[in-house]
A and B are shown apart, each in its own frame.
Chain A
């Protein structure tokens, strides 16, 4: 054993390695990405790791491994679970042989996501048991329990952590590599009555799942991580009022009560199947319970249900009663305020020093990096389409940031790959609009290809713009099928985006460097004149990977102070000094796009 300061996601990965995981697959997505990266980095050598093309592929590959008796881990963010929902819903009916843990990172806030969906709700929907850790340490320890549980009950299990656990850090004790468990896979044993899903098998297994989950509810009432923390000794809160909570919220509650007396607290680490008997025991002498939860009111609804089932008269408060915010992320502050109101004790509140008349602060949303080739791509399309009625379908990735001023080149963004068929739908309704769909290289492989096939087959008229920076940039540069590298570092044949598009049947497929602005504009102009689905591939590496020593600089004497470089490009490296543009050399990568925009020729290397 040794101690390390670890990120929650690293601890989850090490927990899986220590539990003898054999097979790990996933698709990157904040805040889940570091789990798979850590497995790849700390691989003792006997673990297979892959970045799959998307979450559905990862889920299916992991299912195959688990059918064969291997311990399998699959990782994704919450919206990725939607992509993997199809195999998952059926997999629960089939079950697994080797332990299979589905690690899903939820994102209250949301900080880096499209939705505030709650995987705990998905657990009830899919009937899959779910583990919900509160801290980095608990995430590490719980992983082995999740694998053992999955194997014992023959079901995949969810391991759901939220951003503050995934991206929290803590110094914790972890085993050395020699102490990791070893798990041997038995191999796949043919048994169509078990592995082939037909209606007859489904109805039989459905009944078994319901029976098992009822039994699990009893078993989980004894699981030590579902527990009742008694009120602190001599507490004035004895009886009557209590708190139910989970995940990171448990730590917020404990922080608020640090050094103070606290009421009884129910901590729910496995909310599905819900530990009913434990909850009934907790509720029996209470008048009122406040549920401190993030995302859906899962515990709150379960407690209301338990009250009804056991004939208890306890007032259950939380999100449904307006005591806890229905959306958004909780914080120490928000939990402290809720507890202060509930317990009628203002001393529990967090009080900030009095800060009157704060100066107006600049808003600072994330932006495309200085030198990002996506800026040039967006600018080229914008220039090519000047004065024409055009629609720009955006997608999920760094290039979503193309929505901001001054580029404003992202009219819609829904989910991964959606921009292509949204453009198709808009064009059908508004055929006089030139429709564009921007998609990144990793997104193209993840879910863009089917969209292009659909648009091509259904005779749409749109221009696909693939922003190929040869990496999955937003999540921290993971490889993908077009990058020629795997998660295990193998160099493999690249899947060519051009060849895929030509094979679909597109007659216009041209690749151009977006930083060659004139050619880029010309290519877009020619592409959009062609009927049907056509594609422009803007290929230029992510500047965070291909470091450059080139720097642009402004000749102050030549600069006419027109601000065109600033107002048209919005590059964070260009600022105004007095009336003249100035380039921040520590940010500039020398992409030289600004020099091509400058009407006075004042920007050079």
Chain B
């Protein structure tokens, strides 16, 4: 049994597009850590960027941590809700860090009206070449299988547990979900948590 004393520091970057549910995902991890007596700190984008802009959360677990923010090359794990946002945040991931990335692109209006470009293949290739411990999650397929796109955050959390870099177990996250998610959505979220496991 792991104790608080055994827990070494874990630094996590969550990123995506405003409205995707990154905040709930970070809250569930923080809850799971706190349930085990592990100190949690986080910093996140709140405000204008939540309207479809790039958003990120820094989440840090461990007793010795001084600041909620993470320096470049210091994150053990990245949970990205969108592939271009994953590449944007790559400088924060440490050498050998793990990344869980949803493969489904969210086209920004800027790319649709020709003010910028989005090269999905290039982005996915870049991730594969630069992250050894990479889990790509086909979130469109997950949404179809689960019958809902709303629990992408929990699907990604499940994959994060299985990346081995979260420092928390499936059971820890499950307990956090039970405490925070309304009863009627529990079944769906439990299935979402196990989704990438069953795909293996």
Give the B-binding residues of A (Cβ under 8 A): 3, 5, 30-31, 111-112, 136, 164, 167-171, 248, 251-252, 254-256, 258, 331-333, 336, 350-353, 355, 358-369, 398, 401, 404-406, 474, 566-567, 570-572, 574-576, 586
Tell me whether A355 and B130 are in contact (CB under 8 A): yes
Which of A164, A364, A405, A575 has a CB less than 8 Å from the CB of B68?
Answer: A164
Tell me whether B92 and A352 are in contact (CB under 8 A): yes
Which of A258, A352, A405, A572 has a CB less than 8 Å from the CB of B66?
Answer: A258
Contacting residues, chain A, for B117 (C-beta < 8 A) = 360, 362
Contacting residues, chain B, for A364 (C-beta < 8 A) = 17, 52-54, 84-85, 108, 110
Report how far A398 CA is from B30 CA in the complex, Å: 31
With A332-B69, A366-B49 given, name 15 new contacts (CB 8 A): A30-B46, A31-B47, A167-B46, A167-B47, A169-B30, A170-B68, A251-B67, A255-B71, A256-B71, A258-B66, A353-B94, A362-B111, A364-B110, A570-B113, A586-B149
Tell me whether B47 and A111 are in contact (CB under 8 A): yes
Contacting residues, chain A, for B30 (C-beta < 8 A) = 5, 169, 171
Task: Kindly provide the distance from the CB of A376 to the nearest chain B CB, expressed in whole angstroms.
Answer: 16
Contacting residues, chain B, for A404 (C-beta < 8 A) = 109-110
Contacting residues, chain A, for B48 (C-beta < 8 A) = 30, 111-112, 366, 474
- B10-40 vs A, CB cutoff 8 Å, 1 = contact: the mask equals 0000000111000000010011001000011
3 interchain residue pairs of minimum CB distance: A251-B67, A332-B71, A350-B71
Tell me whether B113 and A405 are in contact (CB under 8 A): yes
Contacting residues, chain A, for B118 (C-beta < 8 A) = 362
A-B contact pairs, 25 of them (CB 8 A): A5-B27, A31-B47, A112-B47, A112-B49, A167-B43, A168-B42, A169-B30, A170-B41, A251-B68, A254-B66, A254-B67, A255-B71, A352-B91, A353-B95, A359-B126, A366-B18, A366-B48, A367-B108, A401-B51, A405-B109, A405-B110, A405-B113, A567-B113, A575-B112, A576-B107
Nearest CB to that of B82 among chain A residues? A364
Contact A574-B112, Cβ < 8 Å, known A112-B48, A366-B51: yes
B166 on interface, CB distance cutoff 8 Å:
no
Contact A566-B119, Cβ < 8 Å, known A5-B31, A30-B46, A111-B47: no
Contacting residues, chain B, for A167 (C-beta < 8 A) = 43-44, 46-47
Report how far A252 CA is from B51 CA in the complex, Å: 28
Report how far A258 CA is from B64 CA in the complex, Å: 8
B88 on interface, CB distance cutoff 8 Å:
yes
Contacting residues, chain A, for B109 (C-beta < 8 A) = 367, 404-405, 570-572
Give the A-binding residues of B (Cβ under 8 A): 17-19, 27, 30-31, 34, 39-54, 64-74, 84-85, 87-88, 90-95, 107-113, 115-119, 122-123, 126, 130, 149
Contacting residues, chain B, for A567 (C-beta < 8 A) = 113
Contacting residues, chain A, for B126 (C-beta < 8 A) = 358-359
Report how far A572 CA is from B115 CA in the complex, Å: 14
Report how far A572 CA is from B20 CA in the complex, Å: 13
Tell me whether A570 and B112 are in contact (CB under 8 A): yes
Contacting residues, chain B, for A367 (C-beta < 8 A) = 51-53, 108-109
Tell me whether B71 and A333 are in contact (CB under 8 A): yes
Tell me whether A566 and B113 are in contact (CB under 8 A): yes
Contacting residues, chain A, for B47 (C-beta < 8 A) = 30-31, 111-112, 167
Report how far A169 CA is from B61 CA in the complex, Å: 12
Task: Kindly provide the distance from the CB of A306 to the nearest chain B CB, expressed in whole angstroms.
Answer: 27
Task: Kindly provide the distance from the CB of A323 to the nearest chain B CB, expressed in whole angstroms.
Answer: 19
Contacting residues, chain B, for A358 (C-beta < 8 A) = 87, 90, 126
Report how far A336 CA is from B122 CA in the complex, Å: 32
Contacting residues, chain A, for B69 (C-beta < 8 A) = 164, 251-252, 255, 331-332
Contact A170-B40, Cβ < 8 Å, known A364-B52, A364-B108: yes
Contacting residues, chain A, for B92 (C-beta < 8 A) = 352
Tell me whether B115 and A169 are in contact (CB under 8 A): no
Tell me whether A355 and B90 are in contact (CB under 8 A): yes
Tell me whether A576 and B112 are in contact (CB under 8 A): yes
Tell me whether B42 and A363 are in contact (CB under 8 A): no
Tell me whether B71 and A362 are in contact (CB under 8 A): no
Report how far A147 CA is from B122 CA in the complex, Å: 56
Tell me whether B52 and A369 are in contact (CB under 8 A): yes
Contact A406-B113, Cβ < 8 Å, known A258-B64, A358-B126: yes
Report how far A586 CA is from B21 CA in the complex, Å: 13
Q: Which of A252, A255, A361, A401 has the most CB of B within 10 A?
A: A361
Which of B53, B93, B107, B122 has a CB less than 8 Å from the CB of A359?
Answer: B122
Contacting residues, chain B, for A248 (C-beta < 8 A) = 67
Contacting residues, chain A, for B87 (C-beta < 8 A) = 358-359, 361
Report how far A186 CA is from B14 CA in the complex, Å: 50
